Chains A and B, each alone.
Chain A
Amino acid sequence: MPTLTYRDALNQALREEMQRDPDVFLMGEEVGVYQGAYKVSRGLLDEFGPMRVVDTPITELGFAGVGVGAAMVGLRPVVEFMTWNFALLAIDQLVNNAAKMRYMSNGQVGVPAVFRGPGGAALQLAAQHSQAFESYYAHIPGLKVVMPATPSDAKGLLKSAIRDDNPVVFIEGEMLYNVKGEVPEGEHIIPLGKADVKRPGGDVTIVCHSKTVSVALRAAEQLAADQVEAEVLDLRTIRPLDEEAVVSSATRTHRVVVAEEGWPFAGVGAQVVDLIQREAFDELDAPVLRVTGADVPMPYNKQLERAAKVDAGKIVAAVHEVLYK
């Protein structure tokens, strides 16, 4: 199986889907001539031409609206945001149009669009460019929210997202673009709404997604040295949430830590905790703990930024707490 970077896995998914379906097109800032701010769209302009790889002005609200409209008349747009921080400008199109259209047209008009780009913090990009917004979009009925953590998942989930008949918010990890991993060739499809056990274990479950998956795996390594077998459960899709996978893992391990990059208040982890206490109450041997980004605007200062982010040490500490160690 070929080893690809996360960015090239996304590129492969885009290329294959554009080859397969002439209605699929890519649109966004710098996606064409510059081949993408993160080079996800490398080579696509040459292969598919400017009708299907469209460079837009710096107008997030505008081109997101064009994407919604194109989807309404039968195309399958993939709208790239340079980052989800900039997509705040376009949130009206996502929430009020993309998410509502099928409902308000009584099922007559769907919006089969994918909105994608990197989310979360990278390194020292400061408060306005280091934000994890998945809980914003997961809050909205009518939107699906997908967050791959590995190159293989990136390809398989993006292909599913493009084929989905509903608007999908597809949040990539800026720090993940260079991560390498084996990626199946060709028709590699991962259904939306299916979580994945990235590492099995019986003592505690660490629920995570996107960038926190690799952090949780590092934490699990450290814990294994301490004879603690942690199960790392990657949600992959935030909405629809794979409730069965979460409850089943919690039922097996009886102790759960939920890690996420975003802020604690009303975060994705809060939803996971709600699910577990409702569906697995009698299986819990300890309160479910959350590890989140600090409840502050992301500091620019390097040391403070490190302190504000989720790291393996924080997850290990939370695991020890739920194990009463």
Chain B
Amino acid sequence: MATKVVMEALSPTMEEGRLVEWKKGEGESVAVGDVLAEVETDKAVMELVARAGGTLLKQVVPAGTTVPVSQLVALIGEPGEQVPAETNGKETTAKPKGPAEAPAAQPTPDENRPTSMPPAPPAEPRPAPSPSGRQPVPAPKPSQPGGRVKASPLARRIAEERGIDLSSVSGTGPEGRVVLRDLETAGATPAAAISRAMPRTGDGAPYTDTPLTQIRKTIAKRLVQSIGPVPTFYLTSEVDMERVWDAREALKTLGDGPKVSFNDIIIKAVASALRQHPACNAWWQDDHIRYWNEVHVSMAVAVEEGLITPVIRHTDLKTLREIAAETQDLAARARERRLRPEEYTGGTFSVSNLGMLDIVEFTAIINPPETGIIAVGRIAQVPVAHEGAMTIRRRMRLTMSCDHRVIDGATGARFLQTLKAMLENPLAIVY
């Protein structure tokens, strides 16, 4: 009689685990204490250890699957032993649990289940094998959520250099290994795209969807319970605006083109900083995070009946002159309520400015699914210690609201640091 291996609670708070990788193949012999698989819990990657010896008869769930605690994941028995047909995951140990969250990567239940089998309780859907007892285990595709991407060292290095997300590349090497030639056919790389004319079209993916790790799921769940549907925290930084002030004055003397506002410069700087901090240029998508490879900055515009956020598309690829012209046009048409829907949706990050209304600093509300917004205060001359002496400088406060499900404190702080550095050294915006 085969011994059933179930997903164990590897941490006190673990309700489900993602089976990261099988360490024992079907047909391999197993001793008590051998590591059968690696399991990602809500805290860490842990080892699932064999409690019985014999031969691993069957891997009931494929690698990459998220499985509730106590669900069947494998069978251990004598070599050649028939796998019972009803390897449907009836718990052997313990406690039927309350309705667990449906695992994300559940195979669909098999319609042709033998009638002798007790139907699984609906609250706990499980992978159901085909009647033969052999479950078609999908080959782990590299782009599958969660699975470790197999790539040659060279492919890894080149992908990093070119900013290609390996999980978005389908590998043609053995077991889906991403090799150099796969990158060559992977098409437009972000780095290459920036240097090309915008807006970008063609085969370069505009964004990368990243599955939620268990720790990110736990952070999201806990924070939402605590603070509301968008668990926001705030970061404030003070920026010396003397050099931006001078730069803007200098631009004015050119005498042609649209008038460039401070807000335009801030929007451009935000876009450039996002390019350096893609972790802040993301959408929360409930079951995954969408990291955008394009930067579309939304700009909050006050209108008579409220506020609207038109979007400057490909903000990072546009010149300040183009941004200035566009913000003037968008703001004007926003006030006339003449924006088309596609002009105020699809932003990846927002900028809200109340400086012209003499607000020192404020906190802005995130515009979901975006996960970050910068609130811009007034530029005011204030006494500050500068280069060892008390002096009067033009200063401005920026407050960033961050969706903690996506952006952690240090992540947001580093972005804000870059933004501040750019504004204090404006040439860095286009560097």
Contact = CB atoms under 8 A, between A and B. Distances in A.
Interface of A: 254, 281-286, 324
B259 interface: no
B179 A285 contact: yes
A285 B183 CA distance: 11
Contacts of A284: 152-154
Which secondary structure dominates where chain B touches chain A? helix
B172 interface: yes
Given A254-B180, A324-B179, A285 B172 contact: no
A283 B174 CA distance: 18
B155 interface: yes
Contacts of A281: 153
B18 interface: no
A324 B153 contact: no
Given A285-B180, A286-B179, A324 B173 contact: yes
B154 A285 contact: yes
B157 interface: yes
B58 interface: no
Contact of B156 (A254, A282, A286, A324): A282
21 contacts: A254-B154, A254-B180, A281-B153, A282-B153, A282-B154, A282-B156, A283-B153, A283-B157, A284-B152, A284-B154, A285-B152, A285-B153, A285-B154, A285-B155, A285-B179, A285-B180, A286-B152, A286-B173, A324-B172, A324-B173, A324-B181
A283 B179 CA distance: 11
Interface string B166-188: 00000011100001110000000
Interface of B: 152-157, 172-174, 179-181
A317 to B, nearest CB: 15
Given A254-B180, A324-B179, A282 B157 contact: yes
Nearest to A251: B154
A254 B154 CA distance: 8
Contacts of B180: 254, 285
Given A283-B153, A286-B173, A324-B179, 14 more contacts: A254-B180, A282-B154, A282-B157, A283-B154, A284-B152, A284-B154, A285-B152, A285-B153, A285-B155, A285-B179, A285-B180, A286-B152, A324-B172, A324-B174
Contacts of A286: 152, 173, 179
Is chain A's binding surface mostly helix, strand, loop or mixed? loop
A235 B141 CA distance: 40
A87 B180 CA distance: 47
Nearest to B173: A324
Nearest to B172: A324
A92 to B, nearest CB: 43
A325 to B, nearest CB: 10
Contacts, number: 27
Contacts of B157: 282-283
Nearest to A281: B153
Contacts of A254: 154, 180
Contacts of B174: 324
Contacts of B181: 324
Nearest to A284: B153
Nearest to B152: A285
A50 B156 CA distance: 65
Nearest to A286: B152
Nearest to B171: A324
B219 to A, nearest CB: 33
Contacts of B179: 285-286, 324
A135 B393 CA distance: 74
A149 to B, nearest CB: 29
A254 B153 CA distance: 10
A281 B181 CA distance: 18
A283 B156 CA distance: 10
Contacts of A283: 153-154, 157
A283 B180 CA distance: 10
Nearest to B151: A285
A261 B155 CA distance: 32
Nearest to B155: A285
Nearest to B179: A285
A283 B154 CA distance: 5
Contacts of B173: 286, 324
A159 to B, nearest CB: 40
Chain A to chain B: the 9 pairs with minimum beta-carbon distance, closest first: A285-B154, A282-B157, A285-B152, A285-B180, A284-B153, A282-B153, A324-B173, A281-B153, A285-B179
A283, A285, A324 — most chain B CB neighbours (10 Å) = A285
A162 to B, nearest CB: 42
A254 B152 CA distance: 10
A282 B152 CA distance: 8
Nearest to B183: A285
A194 B232 CA distance: 64
Contacts of A285: 152-155, 179-180
A285 B174 CA distance: 12
A254 B156 CA distance: 13
- Which interface residue of B156, B173, B179, B181 has the most chain A CB atoms within 10 A? B179
B46 to A, nearest CB: 28
A324 B154 CA distance: 14
Nearest to B160: A282
B122 to A, nearest CB: 45
B235 to A, nearest CB: 36
Contacts of B154: 254, 282-285
B294 to A, nearest CB: 29
A281 B180 CA distance: 14
A285 B157 CA distance: 10
Nearest to A287: B152
B156 to A, nearest CB: 7
A37 to B, nearest CB: 48
Contacts of B153: 281-285
A286 B155 CA distance: 10
A283 B152 CA distance: 9
A229 B361 CA distance: 65
Central interface residue in A281, A283, A286, by most chain B CB within 10 Å: A286
A274 B181 CA distance: 25
A285 B184 CA distance: 13
Nearest to A282: B157
Contacts of B172: 324
B153 to A, nearest CB: 5
A257 B153 CA distance: 17
B288 to A, nearest CB: 30
A81 to B, nearest CB: 43
A50 B181 CA distance: 64
A286 B173 CA distance: 9
